[in-house]
Amino acid sequence: MKCLLALLLLIFSFSLTHAQDAPVTTNRVEIHTGLLGVWLNKEYRLSDQLAIRTEVGLDAGLWWNTYDSGYIFTPVFTAEPRWYYNLEKRAKKGRTTKGNFGNFFSLKTSFHPDLFIISNYYDKRVPDLSIIPTWGIRRAVSRQFIFETGIGLGYIHYFQKSYGYTSNEGELAANLHIRFGYRL
């Protein structure tokens, strides 16, 4: 956890010392969909290179094996600080940057509470918190449509003690997303 805090402080201090011609903007509300879910999000400008993205949505999961198969939708709340590192370079090449269309590094922090599940298979849902450093790109497809993809590797922690299990568990987690969005 100390390493993550140090990384955020380093990124924040770097963004304060290197101002851009194409600063990060506060975006309109967007609705995104991908292979595994639907989300509503908004980005807020923190500095010329930093933004924080807040998001609420439904994450989906699919599984299949020789015995059964199924799907699950669970609510998710996300706060994701993003460092857009190439907006100035894109602006010099004449590419659009308004709407934070560029490359980014982020620290995706997501919480899946035990509010409800939508599934064809009943499974007692255990709340979890994941923190995943992610690299991604965000591009404009048209004036209103957005494409975004990202990849990252981090940590997920399951809060099992509150459900009567003997211990809490954590494991390696991946973030691989491909999303299409619409600006409202």
Summarised one tens digit per residue, pLDDT across range 44-60 is: 999 989 999 999 999 98
Q: What is the CATH number of domain 2-183?
A: 2.40.160
Contacts of 21 (CB under 8 A, 6+ apart): 88, 91, 92
Spatial separation of the C-alpha atoms in residues 180 and 136, rounded to whole Å: 14
pLDDT-above-90 percentage for the chain? 49
Looking at every residue in the chain, the average pLDDT score rounds to 85
Q: Phi then psi for 70, rounded to 5 degrees?
A: -175, 180
Residue 6 DSSP class: H
pLDDT at 20: 47
pLDDT in the model for residue 90: 87
Residue with tokens 């600006």: 183
pLDDT at 17 over 50: no
pLDDT digits (tens, 9 = 90+) for 81-122: 999 999 888 888 888 888 888 999 999 999 999 888 888 876
* Helical ranges in the chain per DSSP H: 2-17, 87-92
How sure is the predictor about 72, in pLDDT bands with cuts at 50, 70 and 90? confident
Q: How many CB atoms lie within 10 A of CB 83?
A: 22
